[in-house]
Structure 1
Amino acid sequence: MVPFSTLIRTASQEQHTEAETSAFMGDLLGGRLGLEAYVRYTEQLWFVYRALEDEAGRLADDPVAGPFLRPELARTEALERDLAHLRGGRPGRAPLPATAAYAGRITQVRREWPGGYVAHHYTRYLGDLSGGQIIRGTAERIWGFARRGDGVRFYTFEEIANPAAFKREYRARLDAIPVDEPEKQRIVEECRHAFALNTAVFRELGEEFAHGA
């Protein structure tokens, strides 16, 4: 049997690559966009992570989702510190339509389907621990944020001393997830859906900053 952590990674690779190579993210990482684009992206993340983390404690005893609820992963407070530095407080505007749809789906599965919640948890937090560090480094270099300071605290996991070991442990939890094969396939499909929702956010941000604002 293929380990579930391998299955979920390989089955969603196409959608993952599409999200990573979006025009908006390419322009942001390439230094072709201004600070405002980074701030707008950070605002969208706040809506997404509030959906992930609000009331998530209710899943603590759930046999499927509970093992993944690690306090050292929580990002909402870090995002609010970043936004206080970047914008003076929480987002002053409503989320983009794609962001609202993304956060809405996370809220739905958080309340109704633990396996679906795990799919979104996986796509977000393991991405933050991996590719998110590239964004942090770029932001520090281009806009002069202090290393791991305000403005990039979202990407700084101060309570995770060894990210590589943490990711191995996370994948072991995926491999041990107590669901049958049909449910695993449903989780994989939700993982693909999560990447598609994320890509839609990038698409709308790209339209907003189409002229390099």
Structure 2
Amino acid sequence: MSVPTDTRPFSAALRASTLEVHDRANYSPYMRALLGGELTQEGYTRLAIQYYFVYGAIEAASDAMAGHPVGGEFVFDALRRLPHLERDLAHLVGPGWRSTISPLASTQAYVSRIREAASWAGGYVAHHYTRYLGDIAGGQVIRRTLEKNYDVAEAGALFYHFDGIGSAPRFRDAYRAKLDTAPWDDDERARVIDEALAAFECNVAVFDELALRLDEVRVG
């Protein structure tokens, strides 16, 4: 008996398949504390530092994919976060920030996974989707929290500013349309979903490692 092919748009199948781990990341102890305004500014800075290494890997992969017929469709200069993170860390850590930061073990594993997966377009897109669409949507909740509870608005929170993409809803719709029309068969779509799940698990692992030292950065 044959298994019916999933007739949903691929973007819908991808979102549904990653919903559980996405929610697990959002409700992790670290994110609950951050969004609840329970941390010092240093508590947020520790996350921004880890993102510097993660986005360094993703954006190096974007450079490598720029001319690829499939992966290149997901390379957008307006999405690049590394220049914003550099300015944020100069503000949050200080002018000598490059010599004082280091990746957590979970971040090193995440970076390795990105580099390995980005050798094929589907793997690159899985990690790209996992990070950037979340930053454009749910990341704006973090941006508002930083402004309200952490006295971080412009410098320090530029990572969450996407002024170059125009309308965020229209951009997300166009991105999903690219996912839906990418020339992947069912097997490759399944591989993309598996890699997106792995990307989310890497993200959860970073949050979990940050949570191990939450007591050092709690207010009061």
- Aligned partners of 1:167 and 1:142: how far apart in 2? 28
Matches within 5 A, 1:115-194: 115-146=122-153, 149-194=154-199
Alpha-carbon offset, residue 103 of structure 1: 1.0
Alpha-carbon offset, residue 86 of structure 1: 0.4
After TM superposition, what 4+ stretches of structure 1 lie above 3 angstroms from structure 2? 210-213
2:31 to 25, 37, 53: 25
- Aligned partners of 1:55 and 1:184: how far apart in 2? 20
Partner of 2:104: 96
| TM-score, with structure 2 as normaliser | 0.92
- Aligned partners of 1:31 and 1:181: how far apart in 2? 43
* Structure 2, unaligned runs of 5 or more: 1-6
Larger Rg: 2
- Aligned partners of 1:78 and 1:137: how far apart in 2? 17
Residues 63 and 178 in structure 1, CA contact (< 8 A), matched pair in contact too: no
Aligned-residue sequence identity (percent) comes to: 45
Alpha-carbon offset, residue 165 of structure 1: 0.2
CA gap of 1:127–1:56, structure 2 versus 1, over 3 A, is same
- Aligned partners of 1:212 and 1:157: how far apart in 2? 28
- Aligned partners of 1:104 and 1:185: how far apart in 2? 21
Residues 42 and 217 in structure 2, CA contact (< 8 A), matched pair in contact too: no
**CA offset digits 1:14-67 (Å, max 9, x no partner):** 111101110100001101111111000000000000000025222112122110
1:105 counterpart = 2:113: yes
Matches within 5 A, 1:25-104: 25-88=31-94, 89-90=97-98, 92-104=100-112
- Aligned partners of 1:91 and 1:69: how far apart in 2? 29
Residues 98 and 204 in structure 1, CA contact (< 8 A), matched pair in contact too: yes
AA of the residue aligned to 2:17: A
* Structure 1, unaligned runs of 5 or more: none
Calculate the aligned-residue CA RMSD, in Å: 1.2
For this pair of structures, how many residues does the alignment match? 210
| TM-score, with structure 1 as normaliser | 0.95
